[in-house]
Structure 1
Amino acid sequence: MLIKQLPITVRASHKSDVRTQFAALCFRIAKNKPQVLLVTSRGTGRWIIPKGWPMHGKTPAHCAEREAWEEAGVIGKAADQALGLFSYNKVLDGSGLPCVAIVYPVRVKSLAPDYPEKNQRRRKWFSPAKAANRVSEPELARILRDFDPKMIR
């Protein structure tokens, strides 16, 4: 059963609330094998996938697609069906904010040479298994390791 995505309405939140983010598993097929794109975080330089906050009036998939553009220069299309989710603590103002990121696949058509966060991040293609070994979050590593582009509609 498919559930139609509706635009999001953003509400105020409290300091102790778990926050939701939308993430992009950006992928392409090269030599008949899937590759996924990782970017570095701005603070620590560790490998991550693009992710960001909900945007009022946008669907979760569109939010993930937008983050892929801003953080990695991805020109592509997000699928409406999520691959899974992972939890992590986002460090803001010196304290950890509990977050859950819902991951959407984004099929990459091309990478722009210039994009909003170009001078703040690096981007690199990996096999799903190598990408899984580079990220810190065990749940995200599982999503990357299990990624199969044939399952995307």
Structure 2
Amino acid sequence: MLIKQLPITVRASHKSDVRTQFAALCYRISQDRPQILLVTSRKTGRWIIPKGWPVCGLTPADCAAKEAWEEAGVIGKARDQCLGIYSYDKVMDAGNGLPCVAMVYPVKVKTLAQDYPEHAQRRRKWFSQKKAAARLTEPELARIVRDFNPKILR
């Protein structure tokens, strides 16, 4: 059964709430195999996938595509099919950890822009699925990347 995703309505949150983010698993097919685009985080330089907060009026997949554009210059097509969820603690400016869960959506990359909002703050690089998974610090996200199969997307 196909479930249509609706635009998001954001409500006020409390500091103890678990926050939701939407993440983009950006991929391309090269020699019949998927390659995964990773970006570096701004603060630590570790490899991550683009992700961000919900935006009123956008679907989760549209939010993921927006983050892929801002963080990696991705021009492509997001699918409304969640590949999985992973959890992590987002380190805030005060050094406190904010519990987050990120829903991962596939974004098929058509092209990469040279100039995009965060191009001076991040690096981006293509990896095989195995190498991308090995560079990620969140075990749940690494599993999502390792198990990703674009052939089964609706």
**TM-score interval w.r.t. the shorter chain?**
over 0.9
Q: What root-mean-square deviation, in Å, do the aligned CA atoms of Structure 1 and Structure 2 show?
A: 0.5
- Give 2:105's aligned residue: 104
- Cα distance in 2 for partners of 1:152, 1:111 equals 22
- Cα distance in 2 for partners of 1:28, 1:37 equals 8
- Cα distance in 2 for partners of 1:139, 1:2 equals 25
Could you tell me which runs of 5 or more consecutive residues in structure 1 were left unpaired when the two chains were aligned.
none
Q: Given the two structures, how large is their TM-score scaled by the length of structure 2?
A: 0.98
Please give the secondary structure, in 2, of the residue aligned with 1:130: helix
The answer to whether 1:43 aligns with 2:39 is no
- Cα distance in 1 for partners of 2:150, 2:58 equals 24
Please give the secondary structure, in 2, of the residue aligned with 1:129: helix
The answer to whether 1:70 aligns with 2:70 is yes
Read off the aligned partner of 2:112 and give its amino acid letter.
L
- Give 1:85's aligned residue: 85
Report the alpha carbon displacement of residue 42 of structure 1 after superposing the two structures with TM. 0.3
Could you tell me which runs of 5 or more consecutive residues in structure 2 were left unpaired when the two chains were aligned.
none
* Superimposed CA distance per residue, residues 54-110 of structure 1 (whole angstroms, 9 cap, x where no aligned partner): 000100000000000000000001000100010000001210000000000000000
- Give 1:149's aligned residue: 150
Please give the secondary structure, in 1, of the residue aligned with 2:118: coil
Please give the secondary structure, in 1, of the residue aligned with 2:103: strand
Please give the secondary structure, in 1, of the residue aligned with 2:44: coil
- Give 2:20's aligned residue: 20
- Cα distance in 2 for partners of 1:28, 1:104 equals 14
Give aligned pairs, total: 153
Q: Given the two structures, how large is their TM-score scaled by the length of structure 1?
A: 0.99
- Give 2:115's aligned residue: 114
Q: Percent identity?
A: 77
Please give the secondary structure, in 2, of the residue aligned with 1:11: coil
Read off the aligned partner of 2:139 and give its amino acid letter.
P
Report the alpha carbon displacement of residue 37 of structure 1 after superposing the two structures with TM. 0.2
Report the alpha carbon displacement of residue 31 of structure 1 after superposing the two structures with TM. 1.4
- Cα distance in 1 for partners of 2:56, 2:29 equals 32
Report the alpha carbon displacement of residue 33 of structure 1 after superposing the two structures with TM. 1.1
- Cα distance in 2 for partners of 1:134, 1:15 equals 30
